[in-house]
Amino acid sequence: MNVITADPTSRTAIPISSFEFWPGWLFYIPVVLFWTLMGLRFRSFTLPTAANPRVETGGLCGESKSSILDQAGPVARAWIAPYVVMVTGDDDLRRACAALAEAGLSLPVVVKPDIGCNGTGVRRADSIEALAAALDSFPRDVALVLQELVPHEGEAGIFYVRRPDQAEGRITSLTLKSAPRIIGDGVSTIRALILADERSGRIPGIYLPRLAHRHDEVLPAGRELALVFAGNHCKGSIFADGGRDVTAALTRRIDRIMRDIPDFHFGRIDVKFHGLGALRAGEGFRIIEINGVGSEATHIWDSSTSLAKAYRDQIMHYRLAFEIGAQMRRRGWKPTRPMALIAAWRKQRRLMASYPMND
């Protein structure tokens, strides 16, 4: 096998499930139908946006990523990878370096859009030249987050839910992520190695465009090359269900962190972690992003997950989003108006179309 994954997230021999790469419009038909039924039942199709009322659209779409992190109190802030925000314009490199220096940050950093999803536009900058190239690849007047590159190998998505009338929240999903890598043999080209693997060879359209300038390069024997940097399934990262790694210690830690973000009840915390033992103990991780009601319990993209289980888990989470939204509405919070939600979605879609290809 040419593609390897970072142990311990590789836990299945099934390269791709039957539905992993269905078109989105097809896979989400049952989810949309369920959302519609819940909207009729609760008399609001945007009710889940009230689940996190201090976040624009509850984090359903178009929200500023940094605005969620900015709400963190001292407890939560201690676990978040440091970051700065800038808007592209004139003299970007000088302003970026000044902002990083003022925040006590240095290269390498991750450059990512403040509004977006699915890892679109995420770039890694290990040098001044790479930072300049990343900044130049974005259009003007776009807000970017420059965040410390967390050196930990492990990456996970932790889904957190807390009903407003409950003192403690719970982890409903844990996804372990790994970047596929090819191993050179001193003979085969990068393109050939990708096409020869049982997983990447079935979805070459995800990996080949990103490496178009290196298709004919021959990797030396034993040399590894990561096929993707952004930890997103649709960008090619491999996801594994880490539900068995959810512990009481990790749940307590995540709950304490998330209760330090005002009125946040439903979403996914993306983290980089040092090792599974430390993560289980609620230690050794840094938060790189917090997503609201538009996020997904991504363990469903484990290749061994059945389609029935994927839909059951999706429906369970969106039912919770409506129920929490209903509780918050009774407390006086209002869901985002439909036209405002559509405007936010259009803005996000327009911005994402202007972003460069992710690393």
Domains along the chain with CATH numbers:
9-81+152-179+234-354 (no CATH), 82-149 (3.30.1490.20), 181-227 (no CATH)
Q: Is 273 helix (H, G, I), strand (E, B) or coil?
A: strand
Tokens of 133: 């190239």
CB atoms within 10 A of CB 262: 12
For the segment 299-319, what is each residue's pLDDT rounded down to a tens digit?
999 999 999 999 999 999 999
Q: What is the DSSP letter of 322?
A: H
Edge-first strand order for the sheet with 238-241 is 238-241, 170-178, 154-161, 266-273, 285-291
What is the structure's pLDDT at 10?
Answer: 45
The pTM (predicted TM-score) of the whole model is: 0.94
Q: How far is CA 328 from CA 67, 72, 323, 338, in A?
A: 20, 20, 9, 18
Name the pairing type of β-strands 109-113 and 123-125: antiparallel
Q: Burial, 207: exposed, middle or buried (Cβ in 10 Å; 0-12, 13-18, 19+)?
A: buried
For the segment 161-210, what is each residue's pLDDT rounded down to a tens digit?
999 999 999 999 999 999 899 999 999 999 999 999 889 999 999 999 99
Stretch 69-87: mean pLDDT, rounded? 98
What is the structure's pLDDT at 13?
Answer: 60
What is the structure's pLDDT at 12?
Answer: 53
For the segment 105-162, what is each residue's pLDDT rounded down to a tens digit?
999 999 999 999 999 999 999 999 999 999 999 999 999 999 999 999 999 999 999 9
Torsion 337-338-343-345 (CA) sign: positive
For the segment 228-286, what is each residue's pLDDT rounded down to a tens digit?
988 788 888 999 999 999 999 999 999 999 999 999 999 999 999 999 999 999 999 99
pLDDT at position 54 over 60: yes
What is the structure's pLDDT at 3?
Answer: 42
What is the structure's pLDDT at 216?
Answer: 96
Q: How many residues does the chain have?
A: 359
Q: How far apart are CA 4 and CA 6, in angstroms?
A: 7
pLDDT at position 15 over 90: no
What is the structure's pLDDT at 9?
Answer: 42
CB atoms within 10 A of CB 215: 12
